[in-house]
Amino acid sequence: MKTSDFILPPCDCPECCQAGVTDRERRRDPYTGVVLHGFALRRWLDAQAQFTRQARAVVGGRGRHASGLERVAGRDPGEDDE
């Protein structure tokens, strides 16, 4: 599946307005296929932000790579320490 199958344009329905997510792209749950919006989307965004904060605390900043987070646990076989 393509990324565009899971990321959809923002919504301005009443529930999304109440949840304060009218400026955020909606997400599709990959397991159920349900499009998250409103308070479900707010919970997803909050969980994603919490995970990112915790992962960056482990690897430091944006990690070793400018593109973002690196793997937090485990290594590929043969990968050297720096």
pLDDT tens digits for 61-81?
655 555 555 555 555 545 554
Is the entire prediction scored with pTM above 0.75?
no
Do the Cβ atoms of 51 and 58 come closer than 8 Å?
no
State mean pLDDT over 11-30. Answer: 93
Percent of the chain with pLDDT over 90: 40
Better pLDDT: 57 or 75: 57
